[in-house]
């Protein structure tokens, strides 16, 4: 599918991956329809998208409300006449020992992360079927493949999204043309440098951090744009996510244990205590949002690449000398 002049709806567009994705599509001369709870942030993203070269429409939306999501689709069609791409991205998370997680918080994560996607797909599909084409991009996570401790609801939701994508894909395939021209793809990012962890609900008593390695949100956005151009069933973002997905197939028990230890040591701070908070679960975070968090994803990736390049060059040099 051509990105230029396509109509793209992005949920969770006020910050992080959603915002980066909206900007990437706008940069490709697509029209973007931006959805999130924060109106002020959406207006700012809309201005940024227009500055990047695309058209933009901001529609404040809570994805847990099916009527609001239907209205989002209606507004998109009303303004631009069609919906080519629907990016289900809005997500929340909750860090807590299982018994300490308030049930309403647990349910809220599942509601946003799973039912929000269901509402999105139900709003987009009739329009796409009518058009005879379209793409639904469901942003899942590598945590949907290799779960993590203390984020039960999030991991459940991300696994559910993968299953939901596959199930819907199968159904559309069985329906035949024109439904089979509607692509359903899942994106499985690793840890991304977004403000996500700063606003998370947290009952662990320890500050939540981005677990290394951290990748930039632009990398996910590029992947999503490329997936629209050339759809694939499921794509991981970041070498670590790819490796984890592979390892989970070969040595699932070992990967599960390693992930548990890794999360305990590096995803939750060992030195910074944190008060119990429901974060942005029930009320959106204040401010105008941002693409990036405070985890230096781009710089870290650049350093990793430089180090890998140096190591590779070293190996090549050694091998060449030995051959002589």
Residue 270, interface with other proteins (CB under 8 A)? Answer: yes
Q: Which stretch binds other proteins (CB under 8 A): 21-29, 38-46, 61-69, 205-213?
A: 205-213
Residue 207, interface with other proteins (CB under 8 A)? Answer: yes
Least gap, CB of 95 to other proteins (angstroms): 11
Catalytic residue of the set 154, 199, 203, 215 = 154
SS3 of residue 153 by DSSP: helix
Given the complex with other proteins, which of 99 and 230 has the nearer CB atom?
99
Q: How far is CA 81 from CA 73, 76, 78, 164, 277, in A?
A: 10, 7, 6, 27, 42
Tell me if residue 150 is catalytic.
Answer: no
Tell me how many residues contact other proteins (CB under 8 A): 17
Least gap, CB of 100 to other proteins (angstroms): 8
Residues within window 91-110 making contact with other proteins, judged by CB under 8 A? 100
Which uninterrupted H or E stretch holds 304?
Answer: helix 297-323
Query: Encoding tokens for residue 239?
Result: 């070498």
Residue 206, interface with other proteins (CB under 8 A)? Answer: yes
Residue 274, interface with other proteins (CB under 8 A)? Answer: yes
Bridge partners (DSSP) listed for residue 269: none
- Contact between residue 183 and residue 135 where contact means Cβ atoms under 8 Å apart: yes
Q: Which stretch binds other proteins (CB under 8 A): 52-60, 138-146, 177-185, 272-280?
A: 272-280
Given the complex with other proteins, which of 176 and 273 has the nearer CB atom?
273
SS3 of residue 103 by DSSP: helix
Q: Which stretch binds other proteins (CB under 8 A): 19-27, 141-149, 171-179, 204-212?
A: 204-212
d(CA 311, CA 233): 33
Residue 26 φ then ψ, to 5°: -65, -40
**Residue from 253, 273, 319, 323 in contact with other proteins (CB under 8 A):** 273
Strand runs labelled E in 47-122: 55-60, 85-88, 94-95
- Based on DSSP, count helices (H) and strands (E) in the chain, helices before strands: 10, 13
The catalytic residue positions are 154
Binding site for other proteins (CB under 8 A): 100, 203-207, 264-265, 268-276
């Amino acid at each position: 599918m051509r990105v230029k002049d396509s109509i793209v709806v992005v949920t969770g567009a006020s910050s992080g991956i959603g915002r980066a994705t909206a900007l990437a599509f706008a940069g490709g001369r697509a029209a973007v329809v931006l959805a999130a709870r924060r109106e002020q942030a959406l207006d700012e993203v809309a201005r940024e998208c227009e500055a990047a070269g695309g058209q933009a429409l901001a529609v404040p939306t809570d994805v847990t409300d099916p009527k609001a999501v239907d209205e989002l689709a209606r507004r998109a069609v009303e303004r631009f006449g069609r919906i080519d791409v629907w990016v289900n991205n809005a997500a929340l998370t909750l860090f807590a020992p299982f018994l300490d997680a308030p049930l309403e918080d647990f349910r809220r994560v599942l509601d946003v992360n799973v039912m929000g996607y269901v509402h999105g797909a139900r709003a987009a599909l009739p329009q796409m079927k009518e058009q005879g084409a379209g793409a639904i991009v469901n942003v899942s996570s590598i945590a949907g493949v290799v779960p993590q401790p203390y984020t039960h609801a999030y991991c459940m939701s991300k696994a559910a999204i993968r299953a939901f994508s596959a199930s819907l894909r199968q159904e559309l395939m069985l329906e035949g043309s024109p439904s089979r021209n509607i692509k359903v793809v899942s994106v499985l990012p690793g840890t991304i440098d977004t403000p996500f962890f700063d606003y998370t609900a947290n009952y662990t008593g320890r500050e939540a951090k981005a677990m290394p390695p951290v990748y930039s949100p632009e990398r996910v956005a590029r992947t999503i744009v490329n997936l629209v151009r050339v759809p694939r069933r499921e794509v991981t973002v970041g070498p670590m996510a790819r490796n984890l997905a592979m390892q989970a197939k070969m040595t699932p028990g070992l990967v599960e244990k390693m992930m548990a230890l890794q999360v305990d040591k590096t995803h939750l701070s060992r030195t910074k205590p944190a008060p119990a908070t429901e974060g942005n679960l029930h009320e959106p975070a204040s401010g105008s949002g941002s693409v990036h968090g405070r985890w230096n994803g781009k710089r870290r990736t650049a350093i990793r690449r430089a180090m890998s390049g140096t190591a590779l060059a070293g190996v090549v040099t050694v091998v060449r000398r030995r051959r002589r």
